[in-house]
Structure 1
Amino acid sequence: MRVTLPVFLVEDGLVTDAQVRRLREKRMAGKTLAAAAAAAGMSERAARKWQSGPLPSTAKGPRWWRTREDPFADVWQSEVVPQLVADTDGRLQVLTLFKALCRRHPGRFQPGQLRTLQRRVREWRVQYGPDREVYFEQVPVPGREAAFDFTDLSDLRVTLRGVAFPHLLFEWVLSYSRWTYVELALSETFEALVSGLQGALWTLEAVPAVLRHDNLSAATHELRRSGGRQLTVRFRQVLDHYGLLSSRIQPGKPHENGVAEQAHFRTATAIEQALLLRGERDFVDEAAYLRFVRRVVDEERNAQAAARLAEERPYLRSLPAARVPEYTTFQCRVRKWSTIRVGGRVYSVPSRLIGHLVEARQHPSTVEVLYGGRVLCTMPRLRGG
């Protein structure tokens, strides 16, 4: 026995996109309007309206009314808005506001209402909040600029023969091609800076027009009267030797040196991942570790930069005839304790030199002692100077 179930037809306001699509499929198949409406589960009146035109979901207008009562209506003007007005930097987090309201009104607000407060604060800040800092897109020009900086890689937990090796990485990047040069450094000294800078230029075998950098103490000094910073005479001489111009960022604005900052993150990440694949973080010596780091940089950074570097090379300038010294010279009298003071640090030298005037050359990681133009001894440079 066949049982015919009642068909409940959907009226105009409840029609869905799926029903409209089925209605139109049936009409295209040659069904009458009544048959197509019945197949789609809607009335003929609704079918007549929806047999052409946009789908119901796209025909709805934006909702301007609230679907539920605002739980913050009573405290918005009296408690929330004054806090937002006082927050002239836009640093106050909505979660902090919500927790403060919960403490003042125990049991009144629920965790699920945080999103409502976030939406209301966002809308208020769009209309009345403080202006936000504007970042202008930097469009690199071939051959114009290179950026450099030091970054701390001690978090990589690298060791040399089992001994912890806290260190910095000097990183130099061409802004256009992203070609990268790196060197290890014990600290941000003038000698490490010049060594890294010249290492990059002579490896590249070319010179850009401008160097972008921050106000590191190895390159700048503070002006007593104005409180600003200016290039040191020594660093200016290095730049003049290569015909380079200096472009410095504002103090406390690291994003203005975005090329170097972004390179630091990507290089550190690449080294970390390579160490994980290697399975250990211990190296025989500093030279072996540097070879590892440079291999990672060449594979992960410079291989991808090769094509753009080829485009950039015609715009780069030639190197000068020679490098500048990468050390600082001190004239020292050997004291009766058989010591000399170099760069604010005390070093022991052979006792036969007591009373003699010697020349000390302070390199990025070593100190050489010379007498009569001959190197008598070489010592590791003490950190911090």
Structure 2
Amino acid sequence: MDHVQEKDLERNLTWTESGQSVLKPNIRHLYLFGLWPLCESRLFNLYTFYGFILGLWNLTECLLTIYFAWGDMDEVTLVMMSSVSNLNGLIQMMFFVYDRRLYNSLARHVAALLSVQSDVCDRHPPLAAIFRSSQRRAFRLSLALLLFMFSQCFVWFPMPRIVYPEQRLLPFAQHAWDNNTNFYGLSYFAQCAAGLWMTQMSFGIDCLLASIMILLAAQLDILARRILALKNDGYNETFEYSKKRPGARFSDTMYSDLCLCVESHQKILSFVPHLQITMNPVAMTSFGCSVLIICLGLFQSTFSEDFSVVFKCASFLPIPCSRLYLYCWAANNVTEQAEAVSAAAYNCSWMDASERFKRAMRILVSRAQKPLVLMAGYLYPINREAFLTLVNASYSYYALLSQMNKR
């Protein structure tokens, strides 16, 4: 029975199902760029293959350019910056396509996660407001970051034709082997298309995972408020419970409500492994590539004598920084809200409660005190300290490149 249920969770989402999902903007954005199929279609598979070929074409061009320009640090580092960015998208695309069932299952588990406390939220407007706020935050954050990423197209793509109209230059990798004479128009289009596809897909996956972490943190926040409201003199005004109940009856009610909170906590925690399995390789890839991009972008912004290159790199630098911060901020919020559940349990009116209430509360506190830390690649904890560590690593690599350039 469990096997059949898991198979049902892993089946492809339909267009209608995606419209009912809280992750609708993220899922349909990935559908637009050929990554998340919402229908059984060979044309869509060809569309996905087209995006993969574009990324592979761009990576081949960049490797050839690096080979022919080896020794010219300015040219090599500039090409490496764009190639690492597109390589990040290509790798994440491969992870997604390799096991799309994992992402379909994750989307359905998110729906199940949000239904855990939906009845409570329906009865209590303040809790419903927390849930709605998390949805708005996830949507606005995804939209803002994806639009900012898209805005780079208007900086990088037309720049060679604006600054050097008399020269046949390409946006990213120059064909030193033929001086950009063969298939110039096709190469220009392929580089622009690959840059758009790979960056939108990789950032789309990152925003999807960040949105899920925001929703998870909101569920933990709602749970902490429910537990904190377990008062000996009745629930506070937020929950509008009567204060005139008999002691024994209220004790039973208080214990029953705690049991519901424990059950909700267990269901929320059972969701985390699904998120962790999906996020591990993607987050690790984003971390490694972002560190390299920041390092190379800093180098180009500092030492390049071409103003157009400096402008492009300086405008692009906030993107890898925001990607790192997006993961670390969202995962850190999950950790903090998980700790808040333990604090809420300690601060509720457990001292005057019944013995069975205290026993159940001890179980909840013991489990909630276990740190809920999301990982990248099963090796690297994702939190605010990790953000500072990664930025410091980027600066260290930048300093190394600077020393090499001065020799």
TM-score class, shorter:
under 0.3
Flag the structure with higher helix content.
2
Determine which structure has greater relative contact order: mean sequence separation of CA pairs < 8 Å that are 6+ residues apart, divided by chain length: 2
Flag the structure with higher strand content.
1
- Larger radius of gyration between Structure 1 and Structure 2: 1
- TM-score with structure 2 setting the length: 0.21
